[in-house]
Amino acid sequence: EVHLVESGGGLVQPGGSLRLSCAASRFSFSSYWMHWVRQAPGKGLVWVSHINVDGTTTSYADSVKGRFTISRDNARNTLFLQMDSLRVDDTAVYYCTDLNDHWGQGTLVTVSS
């Protein structure tokens, strides 16, 4: 069974930074585009960022452009999301996914003073 396990979430003050990780196992990680999708409390799913198979192409939702950076390490089967200049409205569960049939369990990011 495929596993995508996110980590790195937590409580951070506005303006702070966090780095999320997503470890993939039993999954041909290096063959897939990967994405981060977030879900604010009680709200729907929102796409955040994508990266292609070798990390040379990335894209971002307008709401996070210039503040978040996606990257990957195919040797370690790991996806990352560096989140800087965090705002209160970035508070959400962040999911790592291939947007196909593989989703992680999510990691909660809370931005609050």
Partner 1 sequence: DVVMTQSPLSLPVSLGQPASISCRSSHSLVHTDGNTYLTWLHQRPGQSPRRLIHQVSSRDSGVPDRFSGSGSGTDFTLKISSVEAEDVGVYYCMQGIPRPPWTFGQGTRVEIK
In the sheet where 107-111 sits, what is the strand order?
10-12, 107-111, 92-97, 34-39, 45-51, 58-60
**Contact between 5 and partner 1 (CB under 8 A)?**
no
CB of 13 or CB of 105, closer to partner 1: 105
Task: Quote the DSSP letter at residue 67.
Answer: T
CB of 26 to partner 1, least distance (A): 15
Pattern 51-90, partner 1, x by CB under 8 A = --------xxxx----------------------------
Q: Give the one residue of 55, 99, 108, 110 binding partner 1; rule: CB under 8 A.
A: 99
